[in-house]
Structure formats: C-alpha cells, structure tokens
Amino acid sequence: MDIASAAPELDALAVVVLNAAQTEDVLFGNEGLVSRLVPGAVVLMCVTVAPDYARSAAERCASRGVHLLDAPISGGSLKAANGKLSIMASGTPEAFRKARPALDAMAETVFELGDSAGTGSAMKAVNQMLAGTHIAAMAEAITFAMTQGIDPASFMKVIPHCAGTSWMLENRAPHIVSGDYTAHSAVDIWPKDLGIVLDAARASKFAAPITAAALQQFLAASGMGLGREDDAAVAKVYARNAGLKLPGTDTQS
Amino acid sequence: MDIASAAPELDALAVVVLNAAQTEDVLFGNEGLVSRLVPGAVVLMCVTVAPDYARSAAERCASRGVHLLDAPISGGSLKAANGKLSIMASGTPEAFRKARPALDAMAETVFELGDSAGTGSAMKAVNQMLAGTHIAAMAEAITFAMTQGIDPASFMKVIPHCAGTSWMLENRAPHIVSGDYTAHSAVDIWPKDLGIVLDAARASKFAAPITAAALQQFLAASGMGLGREDDAAVAKVYARNAGLKLPGTDTQS
C-alpha cells in the first residue's frame, strides 16, 4: 500500500525530505498528502526550511483541520536510525499532543520552542548558521596552520583540547586528517542552509558578515565540483588557493 | 629585590606580558633581562606573539647562551593561579629540559610541538584564530536569533546541546544572556591576536576571509568604545546595527 492510500488512516505523518520544494510537493502538490489526511491528524515537518515557509505550511494545514508541528531534526542518519535525534519543535499544544508518540519514537531530545510554527525552523536556522560557519572556520584554520608548519594531524592533537574547539571541528577535522571525503553530510547542504539563514537575515535587515563569508567558501567548493563530497572538502578551496597539499590528496588540488 | 637584580640567580624566567612590544622591552630593552641571565638559563616566553617574533627572540637569546622556550599559554587568569594552564611549547630539547620544573608548576597540559621556537606561537595563533572567530560567530548567531523571535536565554537552552556549539559559545554566550560585560577577556585582545593571525596569513599569501570578517566586528566593537569590555560585547555591534535590545542593556545601544 502506498502512502497516499494509507494517508486516511494515519494519526501522524513525518515528512523528512531535502528542502521546502520537496515538502511542498509532498504535502500540497497534485498528489499532496494533506488533502488525504483526516482532520485532527498531525504532520511532523522535519525538514530544514525557512521559518516563513513553516508558518505558511501550518496555516494551510490548519485550513484543512490538520495540525502541523514545525519539527526540524538534527543528528544525521545514524541517530535517525536509532531514534536518537534532536528535534527543535514548535506548534500548537494540540499539534504537540498528537505528535507525542512519534516524537518519543524518533527523538532523544525534543526542544519545545513555543506554540506556533516557525520558531522550530528559526532555531534550526540558527544552529545551521553556527554549524556551517564552524566547518568553514575549521577548514580555514587547519590550512592556515599548514602554512605555518603545522600539519593537520598535529592540529588535531592540540586544538580539540583548547578554547578554539567546536563540535563541528571535532567531528569534521578528522576527515581532513585522514583524507577521507566520503560524504556524511555533503558540501551542497550548506549553500542551501546558509542560504535560508541569509535570506531570513536579509528580510530582517540583519547584517551577517561572518556567515556570508562562510557561504562563499562552500559555494566555491561546490563550484570546484565538490558538492557531493563531505563538507570537510571546503578545506580544498583553501588548499587550492594557497598551493597546499592536503593529506590523502594526489595533487595540490 | 627587583627582578633585574635577581636575574643572575635565575634558572628560568617566565615572561607573561601583553604583547611583543612589552616582551621586547622586558627581554632586550635598556633594562633587558636577557643580558643579566647566566648562560644556560631559560626564558619561557608565555606571550601571544607572531611566530617570526618568537624565532627572532630565540636567536637573540641563543647568541647570549640563553635558551628560549616558545611557550604561549591558554586558560585565563583563574587557571594560571591554580597551575592549570595549557602551554603550547616549542624549543630545543635543552630549552625544554631547563624549563621543565617551571612548566610542571604552571601547566596542567604541555603540548610539545617541536624543537624550534615559532611552532608554539603558530599553534597559539591557530587557536586564537578559531577562538576569536567563534566568539564573533556566536554574537552573530545570538543576535540573528533575536530577529527571528528567539531570545538569548532560549538560544542558550538549545544551541549548546546541538552541532552548532563551540567552546567559546558555551563560555561567552552566558555573558550576553545575563547582560554582564565585566571583562574576563577584553574585546581589545582580538584586534591584536587576529591581527597576528592575519599578518602571518598575508605573509604566506593565505586568504582567510572568515577570520577577516570576524576581525572587522571586533574592530567595530573597539571603535564603539567597548575595547575594555568582555569580548562578548562584540554582540553590541550586531545589536546596534539591527536595532536590537540585548538583555541588561538600557537602550538599543
């Protein structure tokens, strides 16, 4: 039985797709599921989207009697498989109540961020702003270190124990040390997610120069053809510009 | 007895001053101590300076038979008082041997980074590059969050538990939440330290756009008259630009 046929029997539907365009198609397109759900069902929208989009989706669901929980997730594929996600959730008390069994199954941590859609997506945007910036800053620092005679392995022995560390540094810098760019999270995530951040910032007349600089580096990585590689490959932009040879790469890229 | 009179009796001298200019004066100025030390003594240079300066100081010490350990420290005043510093050290084996009792008394962790002065300072520069960038990125994110309806206290409840966190975020964001800008580490540290980083980067033809963007925000904070406030006050640059009222501040700054 396909999901469209099953929809009338669902109490809760979790949407985990790549972006707002896919979400729009799944929920409100020609074969959209919202029109097939029964009134009182809840949609858990687990996608990283703009806060304005989350509000719009919630309004359109409500007009059909369907609840929407704005519930972007964090944690990656391994945590998803193990029900250990973090979820940044906002929505009406009724949306939370209906979504609770699904939340309990999926998440280790649910941050309850208020009674209207949009705040969950806003918090996710804030997190992505920092996460993306920290990956690019790590890449900038590990390659700068090379210009100063410090190889990536030596960087990795020291910096994670010092005030300059970040969650992303500890998670991604090992990929550079080992020269393994198998994508756990791809470069092309960041033009999308930092784009969401900077669109929202621009709409609020908020100047975000550091995030903007980080985005440029991911765009350059994508332009180099690295969009499907692990996002630590943003270091290759710096290496190419500075004529450095990263571990495990054949050339000065 | 002043330190100049005591110098001939010292096995080891730790120099903990603000910058290279003060170090130069203390070690090599008119009343400079290196000329008063006995051959075989060691200078622990615990200042954040350019790697080139560390190499120059070591050479000039060596010409007088004095060892120099390039030994910048990390950890702040509380850890210093308790002998719990981290030290990023490089120098000759003899410099390390002579410095060992002093290192043991001062430090919880000593990273041994090679047999020549300069590498210790280079690693410190790399750490400061990340630390300063992460403080400014935190300030950018916590104020961006405010434009999206997320107050700093809510930011602090969520982000430290997510992939967007950093050591500096967890240490400095609480100052913004509480509105307490009593300087633990002042804004004006960062134009100095990120200046060291970007001077070294420029000399190596290394483009560091994210660090450069972070430096501009600290310069703007200093230009606003906040140089002596805690470095979390870089958030006030963002707040002023975006018309936001930070916790504990009287006006939109």
* C-alpha dist (Å) from residue B65 to A110, B95, B115: 63, 11, 17
Chosen domain end from B79, B94, B117: B117
Give the per-residue pLDDT at B116: 97
Contact: B148, A197; criterion CB under 8 Å: no
**Do B111 and B131 fall into the same domain?**
no
Mean pLDDT of B95-108: 96
- Return the pLDDT at B10: 94
**pLDDT at B250 > cutoff 80:** no
**Residue B112 belongs to a domain:** yes
Q: Which residue of A has its CA nearest to B89?
A: A158
Looking at the DSSP bridge assignments, the partners of residue A107 are A85
| pLDDT band of B1, cuts 50, 70, 90 | low
Residue of B nearest to A244 (CA): B206
Question: Is A253 a domain residue?
Answer: no
Task: Answer whether residue B218 is part of any domain.
Answer: yes
Structure confidence by residue, pLDDT tens digits, B156-183:
999 999 999 999 999 999 999 999 999 9
CA atoms within 13 A on the CB side of B103: 23
Residue B248 domain-assigned (yes or no): no
Q: Please give the Cα distance from A197 to A190 (Å, whole number).
A: 10
DSSP string, A183-234: -SSBTTHHHHHHHHHHHHHHHTT---HHHHHHHHHHHHHIIIIITTSBGGGG
Q: Which of A97, A116, A135 is the last residue of a domain?
A: A116
Rounded to 10°, the helix A119-147/B189-203 angle is 50
Which residues of chain B does A215 touch, with a Cβ-Cβ cutoff of 8 Å?
Answer: none
pLDDT at A64: 96
- Look at chain B and report how many structural domains it folds into: 2
Q: Which percentage of chain B shows pLDDT scores above 70?
A: 98
In chain A, residues with a C-beta closer than 8 Å to the C-beta of B86 are: 161-162
Could you tell me the pLDDT band of residue B215, with boundaries at 50, 70 and 90? very high
Residues A130 and A238 in one domain: yes
Determine the number of helices (DSSP H) and then strands (DSSP E) in chain B.
Answer: 11, 6
Residues A107 and A156 in one domain: no
Rounded Cα distance, A173 and A74, in Å = 19
pLDDT by 10s per residue, chain A, length 253: 688 898 999 999 999 999 999 999 999 999 899 999 999 999 999 999 999 999 999 999 999 999 999 999 987 777 888 888 899 999 999 999 999 999 999 999 999 999 999 999 999 999 999 999 999 999 999 999 999 999 999 999 999 999 999 999 999 999 999 999 999 899 999 999 999 999 999 999 999 999 999 999 999 999 999 999 999 999 999 999 999 999 998 654 4
Report the distance separating Cα B72 and Cα B15, nearest Å: 10
Cβ within 8 Å of residue B193, ≥6 positions away = B48, B125, B128, B132
Asked if residue B143 is part of any domain, the answer here is yes
ipTM beyond cut 0.90: yes
In degrees and rounded to multiples of 5, residue B84 shows phi and psi of -115, 25
Task: Output the pLDDT for position A195.
Answer: 97
Please report residues of B whose CB lies closer than 8 A to that of A237: none
Q: Which helix (H) or strand (E) holds A67?
A: strand A67-70
DSSP state, residue A40: T
Quick one: B152 and B53 in the same domain? no
Rounded alpha-carbon distances, angstroms, from residue A73 to A43, A85, B132, B249: 14, 6, 29, 34
Residue among A147, A149, A165 minimizing CB distance to B206? A147
Cross-chain CB nearest to B86 (options A161, A167, A217):
A161
Q: How close A216 comes to chain B (CA, Å)?
A: 9
Residue numbers in B near A241 (CB within 8 A): 206-207
A73 and A140 together in one domain: no
Phi/psi for B19 (5° steps) reads -160, -175
Q: Do B65 and B133 belong together in one domain?
A: no
Tell whether B208 and B234 lie within a shared domain.
Answer: yes
Asked if B236 is an active-site residue, the reply is no
My answer on whether B97 and B169 are in the same domain is no
| B102 and B210 together in one domain | no
Q: Is the pLDDT of residue B189 over 80?
A: yes
Give yes or no: residues A209 and A139 share one domain.
yes
Q: Are B118 and B195 in contact (CB under 8 A)?
A: no
Is the CB of B51 less than 8 angstroms away from the CB of A148?
Answer: yes
* Residue A130 and residue A88 in one domain: no
Q: Select the residue of A167, A204, A242 nearest B166 (Cβ to Cβ).
A: A167
Q: Per-residue pLDDT averaged across B76-100, rounded? A: 91
List chain A residues with CB under 8 Å of B123: 145, 150, 154-155, 158-159
Residue from A146, A143, A141, A145 nearest A164 by CA: A141
pLDDT at A200: 97
Q: Do A131 and B158 touch (CB under 8 A)?
A: no
Q: Find the catalytic residue in B79, B98, B124, B192.
A: B124
**How many Cβ pairs within 8 Å bridge chains A and B?**
231
Average pLDDT, chain B: 95
Show the domain range for A111.
3-116
Which string of b and e fits B175-202 if b means at least 16 CB within 10 Å? bbbeeebebebbbbbbbbbbebbbebbe
Contact between A130 and B166 using a beta-carbon 8 Å cutoff: yes
A128 in the same domain as A102: no
Q: Do A209 and B211 touch (CB under 8 A)?
A: no
- What CATH number corresponds to the domain at position B136? 1.10.1040.10
> Contact A45/A28 with Cβ under 8 angstroms?
no
For residues A188 and B48, give the distance between their C-alpha atoms in angstroms, rounded to a whole number.
37
Instruction: Say if CB B149 and CB B163 are below 8 A apart.
Output: no
Q: Shortest Cα distance from B248 to chain A (angstroms)?
A: 21
Express each pLDDT in B122-133 by its tens digit. 999 999 999 999
Instruction: Using the 3D structure, point to which of B63, B92, B117 is the last residue of a domain.
Output: B117
Q: Is residue A248 part of a domain?
A: no
Report how far residue B253's alpha carbon sits from residue B251's, in angstroms, rounded to the nearest whole number: 5
The pair of structure tokens assigned to B90 is 């490089």
Q: Which pLDDT belongs to residue B190?
A: 98
Q: Find the residue in A nearest to B127 (Cα).
A: A164
In a domain, residue B215? The reply is yes
A52 in a structural domain: yes
Domain at B26, CATH number:
3.40.50.720
What distance in Å separates the CA atoms of residue B164 and residue A130, rounded to the nearest whole number? 5
How far is CA A194 from each of CA A48, A189, A228, A242, B12, rounded to the nearest angstrom? 11, 8, 17, 25, 51
